[in-house]
């Protein structure tokens, strides 16, 4: 009969446990295989080995192989579960072999890139936290450390008002441990001792600067702390062996040979073997008390090949393990900031201005550090400088509010800090906090999206030509002011998104990254590929690990340092294609996998989304891509890029073209619907807007200016034109907000029909601020307040009725002749009549549920500037049992021209 072990070896399939590579955490662990037996199979085998009259037959080898093969196949499928480089293609029924092959090659390149990253960095988390080391940082050992990446430089120095702008006082040279093999320069600025003070007795004396910055100022000297540590740590008499290193050897010699033992090798007699000496020692100690005996014993089994086994005393081992190193006493030697202030003067005081100086093969250069967190841009002919921002802990900003919960639908209020005020000047963060944030909260939005807040040299560029990626624009205030803005927004329940520009950078050399270390390929491509064809900006070299380190850390920096809730990635088409997106796209899949596609840029976007969503699960990323690259919002494990939302840019372009070029009666309802819903792929991830900043900032006009002009609300405009403009203004926003996905966006001021375009001060307008502001006083005008009231109620409709968070709209009625559009979204029925003249007393619309439908929002109400044609008895409509629009039930509703109504099912009628 087989033994239990033999039975288990025969019956139990081998199971393999693979430890996958951990990208976000500690060091990556190599895959190992653990062979273990299945408990269930062991129990079965045990039953087989019991005494029975008729033993059970053993499994056939072929059957065991089949089971093992099937098991291994299931395990391999489980290991690769959810990983399909072309997964989203089958999801959308896309059959394109070239694009599928491109995705597979891209996935392999992504794995190779991650492996390459992990040869340089501890993990992807470390890869995206470069701001913890690079730039200027306070060190606890009374000094300031500066680290900068400039592989093309031969000499690096910090210059500023702290050293009289000297290029030799604080420097690092090539060949003198100035930089590592990757071109990272390291400079230490030692804090200065005050007059009459002595250096610290401990070389590595540390000081608390931020957390518990007064902890340690107890007045106890270092000698007293060390004496206390010795008294608490060592057993009585135990520390004497530390004082003399020969004492142990001398004591052992005396025990072996006595006090008058041999002093030379000739006097030393032949020593007995170890076993004889051990037996003699045990005989000598047989009558000693247990406390005097050693805490170990040696066991000899008497075999020649046996090794002596040393058996220790469990109590002694337990006592030894309970001993803790005297780290608490070392921590007690730390001093607080007060002690540091009394003893040292900062090498780089808060508010100091500085730059970095390089000596390159092309000559000396002065640059603003790439990782600077506060920069004063070039003004009045003066060179831009970085500002060391290190307020004392008692004055540093302290966060008060938690970040709001991630909502199921987004109602985004897009804004620009500089033009948010009414006065003709650049508004500040504090102005925005006091005047704009309360308005956004009242208007019913749940998120704000800020553009142009990252430092840029020229104000007229709106902030898109970024020069300093880690710095908040000093035009609007300090870094602490921006933290307060975000904190106050969170206190009002508003998310804060940042429009991030990683698709290109400013070409300015004295303040930006261009030619940073004297070479043309430090951060950017060389040649034509390194320059945008039409915008005069520089294009990043996304395939370089150090550039990835810079950009990924930049995303993480804004989340960690400023608690932003998400990012709107600007103009992805300019980075995804070597032609910068300026090419005709027909929708052919070949256009997304040809030689003009920048695979490195795609890999960066995938890494950016993976890093952000892994480190910060609640972060929201929005893609702005005019070409709608396939898989924008699909999971990266399924071949997508991993964004949460994508902006439908064609919707606003369609509305602008209709308003400017097409008469009202020629509007095509089918075209409107198809443009707003797109191709139904990822429609639930779509961000829609009627107009954002592009219509007013990029040399165009706002819709209000097109519809009713600057005479809006004045007596010079006819009542008919005013009624038309207000009606279309409301209808365009209502259908754009409710027909698409889970997100809607509006630019600051457009909710109340701001009639002026935006024009930043520049030489062409004599640097005038007359159009670089928002006229908030227009809300006192009846027409503008009526438009604002409608927009507010539209936001409340989603807030209370959860319109955007529901599934996709069921568009069941689109009639180009009557110019009527109708769709269902949950229990809500939306009906639009875009006809400029025709009104319908009883228009038939199909519905899914029989019952009573009540109007919850009507664009034609007088409080919204409408005609008020609906009577009180028409607010509730009952269904009729008649087929319409492919449904068995319908409603007959009144539809005034240029109006829209939202009905809600309030009572269900059963047959």
pLDDT in tens, 670-699: 999 999 998 767 888 999 999 877 766 666
The vertex-859 CA angle with 854 and 863, nearest 5°, equals 100
Half-sphere exposure at residue 303, Cβ-oriented, CA atoms within 13 angstroms: 6
Report the sign of the C-alpha dihedral through residues 732, 733, 734, 735, in that order: positive
The confidence score (pLDDT) of residue 501 equals 95
Position with higher pLDDT, 873 vs 298:
873
Q: What is the DSSP string of 211-243?
A: TTTTTT-S---HHHHHHHHHHHHSPTTTTHHHH
Q: Is 624 in the active site?
A: yes
* CB under 8 A, 24+ apart: contacts of 423-429: 423/773, 424/768, 424/769, 424/770, 424/772, 424/773, 425/769, 425/773, 426/459, 426/475, 426/476, 426/769, 426/772, 427/476, 427/773, 428/476, 428/477, 428/481, 429/476, 429/477, 429/481, 429/482, 429/484, 429/485
Instruction: Give the pairing type, strands 828-833 and 820-825.
Output: antiparallel
Instruction: Give the pairing type, strands 447-451 and 454-456.
Output: unpaired
- Which tens digits make up the pLDDT trace of 782-840? 999 999 999 999 999 999 999 999 988 999 999 999 999 999 999 999 999 999 999 99
Question: Does pTM surpass 0.85?
Answer: no
The confidence score (pLDDT) of residue 33 equals 32
Q: What is the CA radius of gyration of the chain?
A: 37
| Residue 678 located in a structural domain | no
| Residue 168 located in a structural domain | yes
Q: Which of 739, 367, 743, 713 is nearest to 566 (CA)?
A: 743
| 710 vs 754: CA distance, rounded Å | 9
The confidence score (pLDDT) of residue 49 equals 37
Torsion angles phi and psi, residue 779, rounded to 5? -65, -15
Say what percent of the chain tops pLDDT 70: 83
- Which tens digits make up the pLDDT trace of 105-136? 999 999 999 999 999 998 999 999 999 999 99
| 817 vs 838: CA distance, rounded Å | 11
Q: Select from 364, 396, 428 the last residue of a domain.
A: 396
Sorting pLDDT into bands at 50, 70 and 90, what band is 657?
very high
Q: Look at residue 5 and tell me whether its pLDDT is greater than 50.
A: no
| 470 vs 131: CA distance, rounded Å | 9
The confidence score (pLDDT) of residue 207 equals 84
| Residue 838 located in a structural domain | yes
The confidence score (pLDDT) of residue 553 equals 97
CATH code where residue 870 lies: 2.60.40.1180
Query: In terms of residues, how long is the chain?
Result: 911
The H or E element containing residue 488 is helix 479-491
Domain that holds residue 142: 128-202+311-396
**In contact, 68 and 14? CB cutoff 8 Å:** yes
**In contact, 489 and 448? CB cutoff 8 Å:** yes
| Residue 652 located in a structural domain | no
| Residue 185 located in a structural domain | yes
Q: Look at residue 707 and tell me whether its pLDDT is greater than 70.
A: yes
Buried b (16+ CB within 10 A) or exposed e, 272-302: eeeeeeeeeeeeeeeeeeeeeeeeeeeeeee
413 Cβ contact list (under 8 Å, min separation 6): 440, 443, 445, 447, 448, 449, 745, 746, 748
Q: Mean pLDDT across the stretch 542-561?
A: 96
| 911 vs 907: CA distance, rounded Å | 13
557 Cβ contact list (under 8 Å, min separation 6): 131, 470
| 154 vs 178: CA distance, rounded Å | 9
| 736 vs 691: CA distance, rounded Å | 10
The rounded mean pLDDT for the chain is 84
Using CA atoms, how far residue 229 sits from 328, 333, 436, 475, 555, in Å, is 9, 11, 58, 53, 45
| 707 vs 729: CA distance, rounded Å | 8
| 450 vs 413: CA distance, rounded Å | 9
Sorting pLDDT into bands at 50, 70 and 90, what band is 911?
low
| 436 vs 438: CA distance, rounded Å | 6
701 Cβ contact list (under 8 Å, min separation 6): 695, 757
Q: Look at residue 644 and tell me whether its pLDDT is greater than 50.
A: yes
CA dihedral 562, 567, 573, 575 (to 10 degrees): 30
Of the listed 390, 455, 499, 624, which one is catalytic? 624
**In contact, 689 and 745? CB cutoff 8 Å:** yes
The confidence score (pLDDT) of residue 221 equals 77
The confidence score (pLDDT) of residue 407 equals 94
- Which tens digits make up the pLDDT trace of 163-186? 999 999 999 877 666 788 888 999
Q: Residue written as tokens 């005008």?
A: 781
Torsion angles phi and psi, residue 888, rounded to 5? -80, -10
Position with higher pLDDT, 255 vs 261:
261
Q: Residue written as tokens 């340089």?
A: 120
Instruction: Give the pairing type, strands 620-623 and 296-299.
Output: unpaired
Q: Mean pLDDT across the stretch 55-69?
A: 48
CA dihedral 104, 107, 112, 116 (to 10 degrees): 160
**Least reliable range by pLDDT among 259-263, 735-739, 790-794, 820-824:** 259-263
Q: Look at residue 226 and tell me whether its pLDDT is greater than 90.
A: no
CATH code where residue 366 lies: 2.60.40.10
The vertex-756 CA angle with 754 and 757, nearest 5°, equals 110
| Residue 260 located in a structural domain | no
Q: Mean pLDDT across the stretch 92-102?
A: 92
Q: Mean pLDDT across the stretch 852-860?
A: 95
| Residue 155 located in a structural domain | yes
Q: Select from 396, 414, 440 the last residue of a domain.
A: 396
Beta strands in 624-764 (DSSP E): 645-647, 686-688, 743-747
| 761 vs 765: CA distance, rounded Å | 6
Q: Residue written as tokens 């007699």?
A: 269
The confidence score (pLDDT) of residue 658 equals 94
The confidence score (pLDDT) of residue 709 equals 66
- Which tens digits make up the pLDDT trace of 761-771? 888 888 888 88
75 Cβ contact list (under 8 Å, min separation 6): 15, 16
| Residue 704 located in a structural domain | no
776 Cβ contact list (under 8 Å, min separation 6): 422, 435, 439, 749
Q: Select from 377, 396, 415 the last residue of a domain.
A: 396
| 432 vs 807: CA distance, rounded Å | 35
| 656 vs 702: CA distance, rounded Å | 9
Q: Look at residue 557 and tell me whether its pLDDT is greater than 70.
A: yes
Q: Residue written as tokens 């900068």?
A: 148
Q: Mean pLDDT across the stretch 407-419?
A: 95
- Paired with 904 in beta bridges are 828, 854
Using CA atoms, how far residue 700 sits from 94, 291, 665, 691, 705, in Å, is 38, 94, 24, 11, 10
Q: At what angle do helices 669-677 and 719-738 cross, to 10 degrees?
A: 40
**In contact, 496 and 453? CB cutoff 8 Å:** no
| Overall domain count for the chain | 2
The H or E element containing residue 66 is helix 61-79
Say what percent of the chain tops pLDDT 90: 57
């Amino acid at each position: 009969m087989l033994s239990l072990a033999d039975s288990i070896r025969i019956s139990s399939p081998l199971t393999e446990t693979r430890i996958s590579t951990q990208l976000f955490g500690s060091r990556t662990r190599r895959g190992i295989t653990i062979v273990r037996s299945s408990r269930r199979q062991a129990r079965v085998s045990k039953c087989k080995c019991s005494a029975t009259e008729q033993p059970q037959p053993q499994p056939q080898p072929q059957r065991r192989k089949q089971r093992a093969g099937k098991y291994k196949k299931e395990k391999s499928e489980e290991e690769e579960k959810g990983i399909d480089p072309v997964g989203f293609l089958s999801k959308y029924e896309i059959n394109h072999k070239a694009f599928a092959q491109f995705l597979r090659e891209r996935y392999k390149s992504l794995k190779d890139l991650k492996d390459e990253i992990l040869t340089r960095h501890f993990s992807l988390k470390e890869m995206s936290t470069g701001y913890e080391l690079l730039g200027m940082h306070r060190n606890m050992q009374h000094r300031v450390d500066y680290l900068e990446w400039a592989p093309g430089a031969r000499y690096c120095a910090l210059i500023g008002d702290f050293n009289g702008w000297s290029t030799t006082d604080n420097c690092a040279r090539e060949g003198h441990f100035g930089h590592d093999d990757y071109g990272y320069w390291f400079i230490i600025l030692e804090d200065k001792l005050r007059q009459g003070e002595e250096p610290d007795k401990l070389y590595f004396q540390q000081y608390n600067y931020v957390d518990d910055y007064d902890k340690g100022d107890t007045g106890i000297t270092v000698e007293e702390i060390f004496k206390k540590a010795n008294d608490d740590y060592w057993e009585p008499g135990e520390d004497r062996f530390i004082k003399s290193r020969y004492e142990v050897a001398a004591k052992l010699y005396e025990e072996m040979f006595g006090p008058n033992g041999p002093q030379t090798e000739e006097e030393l007699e032949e020593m007995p073997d170890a076993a004889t000496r051990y037996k003699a020692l045990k005989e000598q100690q047989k009558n000693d008390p247990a406390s005097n005996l050693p805490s170990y014993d040696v066991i000899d089994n008497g075999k020649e090949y046996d090794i002596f086994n040393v058996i220790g005393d469990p109590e002694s081992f337990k006592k030894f393990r309970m001993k803790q190193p005297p780290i608490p006493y070392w921590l007690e030697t730390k001093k607080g900031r007060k002690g540091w202030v009394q003893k040292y003067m900062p090498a780089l005081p808060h508010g100091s201005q500085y730059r970095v100086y390089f000596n390159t093969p092309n000559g000396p250069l002065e640059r603003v550090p790439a990782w600077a967190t506060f920069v004063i841009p070039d003004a009045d002919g003066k060179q831009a400088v970085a500002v060391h921002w290190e307020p004392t802990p008692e004055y540093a900003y302290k966060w008060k509010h938690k970040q709001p919960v991630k909502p199921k639908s987004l109602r985004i209020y897009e804004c620009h800090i500089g033009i948010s005020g009414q006065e003709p000047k650049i508004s500040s963060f504090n102005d925005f906090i006091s005047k704009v944030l309360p308005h956004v909260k009242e208007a019913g939005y749940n998120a704000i999206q800020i553009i142009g807040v990252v430092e840029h040299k020229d104000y007229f560029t709106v902030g898109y030509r970024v020069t300093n990626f880690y710095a908040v624009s000093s035009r609007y205030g300090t870094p602490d002011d921006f933290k307060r803005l975000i904190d106050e927004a969170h206190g009002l329940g508003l998310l804060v998104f940042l429009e991030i520009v990683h698709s290109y950078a400013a070409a300015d050399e004295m303040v930006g990254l261009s030619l940073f270390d004297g070479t043309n390929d430090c951060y950017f491509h060389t040649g034509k590929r390194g320059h945008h064809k039409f915008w005069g900006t520089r294009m990043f070299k996304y395939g370089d690990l150090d550039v990835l380190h810079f950009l990924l850390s930049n995303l993480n920096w804004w989340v960690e340092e400023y608690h932003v809730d998400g990012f709107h990635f600007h103009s992805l088409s300019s980075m995804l294609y070597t032609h910068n997106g300026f090419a005709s796209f027909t929708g052919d899949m070949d256009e997304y996998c040809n030689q003009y596609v920048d695979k490195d840029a795609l890999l960066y976007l995938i890494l950016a989304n993976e890093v952000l969503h892994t480190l910060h699960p609640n972060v929201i990323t929005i893609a702005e891509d005019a070409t709608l690259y396939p898989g924008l919002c699909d999971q990266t494990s399924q071949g997508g890029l991993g964004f949460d939302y994508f902006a439908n840019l064609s919707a606003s372009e369609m509305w602008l073209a209709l308003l400017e070029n097409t008469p009202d009666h020629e509007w095509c309802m089918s075209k409107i619907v198809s443009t707003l819903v797109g191709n139904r792929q990822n429609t639930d991830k779509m961000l829609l807007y009627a107009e954002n900043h592009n219509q007013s900032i990029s040399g165009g006009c706002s819709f209000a200016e097109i519809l009713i002009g600057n005479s809006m609300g004045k007596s010079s405009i006819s009542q008919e034109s005013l009624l038309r403009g207000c009606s279309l203004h409301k209808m365009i926003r209502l259908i754009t907000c409710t027909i698409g996905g889970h997100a809607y966006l509006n630019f600051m001021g457009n909710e109340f029909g701001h009639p002026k375009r935006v024009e930043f001060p520049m030489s062409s307008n004599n640097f005038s601020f007359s159009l670089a502001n928002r006229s908030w006083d227009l809300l006192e005008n009846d027409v503008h307040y009526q438009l604002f009231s409608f927009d507010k109620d539209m936001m409340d409709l989603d807030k209370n009725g959860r319109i955007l968070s529901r599934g996709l709209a069921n568009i069941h009625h689109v009639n180009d002749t009557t110019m009527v559009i109708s769709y269902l979204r949950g229990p809500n029925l939306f009906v639009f009549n875009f006809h400029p003249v025709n009104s319908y007393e009883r228009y038939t619309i199909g519905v899914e549920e029989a019952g009573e439908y009540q109007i919850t929002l009507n664009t034609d109400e007088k409080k919204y500037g409408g005609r008020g044609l609906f009577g009180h008895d028409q607010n509730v409509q009952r269904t009729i049992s008649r087929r319409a629009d492919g449904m068995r039930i319908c409603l007959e509703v009144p539809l005034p021209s240029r109006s829209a109504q939202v009905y809600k099912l309030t009572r269900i009628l059963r047959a």
